[in-house]
Chains A and B, each alone.
Chain A
């Protein structure tokens, strides 16, 4: 029916795609919807000098935190990195570069990059240090900042269900940056909780069409962490 996109494990799915100094997009918000097994496989490959585009930087020993601990990351492009002590340590020691993007600007840069749009104007950050060195333009009396579309060599994403074509759906807030990153890289690898037969996902419900996905890894076990466990009392 189609080319085989299914790989037996994360290591196999990344074979031939990794090299030093490459740019990688990694989905997730906090620890929610992160491609955890693919991140571990990137660590195990030993590639270094990575530029990682991801909203957050994980926590010390989970998610992207493992790549920071092993000093494989040269630069992060993120909107918020508050929960990671390793990050703070390496940044303050001058070993790690950070480019902060407002979260919506980061998302739109990725969306634009995936859609072949090299730049766009936004009001976000106008009059702040985010706009320094960037072109600005007035539209209808308001100042907008020119931001560039963003692409990567590789995107690693986490999805809930996939079929063998690579059509993906996501679960609840684990969707976040995953679908847009899947559009914005030369190679896209998706780890999925559940690989289903053709036709098992209603075409009306597909979020990421398979055209965006090159390789799929069905996960044997899914280890999901909660960063801030908050509950209410039963009355």
Chain B
């Protein structure tokens, strides 16, 4: 059984450590906030100028001056601070954020990431994605393993890059891959998903971790 979106988010939450400053992208990465372990101190960074981001407000308590990078209404927590956009990206580009979890269109076996434009289609812009992947200490991609039946984990990205050699880990609905000097390595696999299925849906070459328990 492939992981659901929620299970993928829960798997990504296992990459968080106590005391981390974390930036979550739009889409499935947003769900990671729901799976932070109780008692763990995690500060969520929102690149529009907020550190220490709380959940959505109760109805009637929305504040138009209090939004996240997805322009959604959010709330403060006791640790919250506000700052301007240059300070916000000093946190990102200066390597102060511990982990960035974001979506992708394509990831290559060398860690290249494409997630901001499809030539010929309307380009919306990269927002803060290029800064995040260039500056944050650890970059984790959370995405479906395939799109329209086609692999998204490739030998080389075909789309324009968001960053070159920037991805450290990829979590899909089928498994988890680490990217290091030696390339892509499968380190976790969804229950009852076989290695053959992953191989058939992955264009990139990868090795398999010796510790990995595989389905029969």
* A positions within 8 Å CB-CB of B: 29-33, 55, 78-83, 88, 91-92, 98, 100, 102-108, 110-111, 122-130, 160, 170-180, 207, 224-232, 234
Q: Within 8 Å CB of B4, what residues of A?
A: none
A231–B126 CB distance below 8 A: no
B48–A232 CB distance below 8 A: no
Give Cα A64–Cα B157 distance, bound, in whole angstroms. Answer: 35
Say which size band chain B's interface belongs to: 35 or more
Which stretch (B37-45, B78-86, B172-180) binds chain A?
Answer: B78-86
Q: Within 8 Å CB of A127, what residues of B?
A: 112, 161, 163-165
B48–A234 CB distance below 8 A: no
Give Cα A178–Cα B129 distance, bound, in whole angstroms. Answer: 21
Separation in Å of the B161 CB from the closest CB of chain A? Answer: 4
What is the chain B residue whose CB lies nearest that of A28?
Answer: B48
B46–A173 CB distance below 8 A: yes
* Cβ proximity bits B71-110 to A, threshold 8 Å, 1 near / 0 not: 1111010000011111011001100000000000000000
What is the chain B residue whose CB lies nearest that of A122?
Answer: B93
Q: Is B123 an interface residue (CB 8 A)?
A: yes
B85–A81 CB distance below 8 A: no
Give Cα A126–Cα B49 distance, bound, in whole angstroms. Answer: 24
Extra 20 A-B pairs, beta carbons < 8 Å, given A173-B48, A231-B61: A31-B64, A83-B71, A98-B123, A104-B88, A105-B131, A124-B135, A126-B134, A126-B163, A129-B160, A130-B126, A172-B63, A173-B49, A173-B67, A174-B64, A175-B82, A177-B85, A179-B84, A180-B85, A226-B73, A227-B67
